[in-house]
């Protein structure tokens, strides 16, 4: 599992692409809020354990890159770089994207269920 933020995302993504032979998953999440001890995004809090469990139970060797979008004001900015990046077009967090052969593919939608 690798972690990235806006400042180091491209270099961490390159490392992740070079690391594994299996699927690469990009998980875009809200940052943790030190005042409350967990993510400011309740959907992220609910989704993370489900995503980790699903990937852990996979028969394939996977690489997970967690990309933190920032605090609430940073993410709410319509000019947030990952909202504008055509590779992702993020509209909400959490978002899980499976990258195949350096082309982003994925579903953007609701929360995963157990």
Q: Distance between CA 37 and CA 52 in Å, rounded? A: 19
- Residue in 41, 47, 67, 96 annotated catalytic: 41
Give phi and psi for 105, each to the nearest 5. Answer: -135, 140
Active site residue 41: yes
Does the active-site annotation cover 2?
no
- Work out whether the CA dihedral 68, 72, 77, 78 comes out positive or negative: positive
Candidates 44, 47, 51, 96; catalytic one: 44
Q: What are the backbone dihedrals phi and psi of residue 14, each rounded to the nearest 5 degrees, phi first? A: -60, -45
Active site residues: 41, 44
């Amino acid at each position: 599992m690798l972690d990235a933020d806006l400042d180091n995302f491209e270099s961490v993504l390159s490392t992740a692409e070079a690391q594994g032979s299996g699927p690469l998953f990009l998980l875009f999440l809200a940052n943790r809020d030190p005042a409350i001890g967990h993510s400011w995004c309740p959907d992220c809090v609910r989704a993370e354990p489900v995503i980790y469990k699903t990937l852990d139970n996979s028969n394939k060797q996977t690489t997970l890159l967690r990309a933190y979008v920032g605090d609430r004001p940073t993410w709410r900015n319509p000019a947030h770089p990952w909202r504008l990046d055509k590779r992702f077009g993020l509209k909400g967090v959490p978002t899980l994207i499976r990258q195949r052969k350096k082309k982003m593919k994925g579903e953007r939608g609701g929360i995963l269920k157990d």
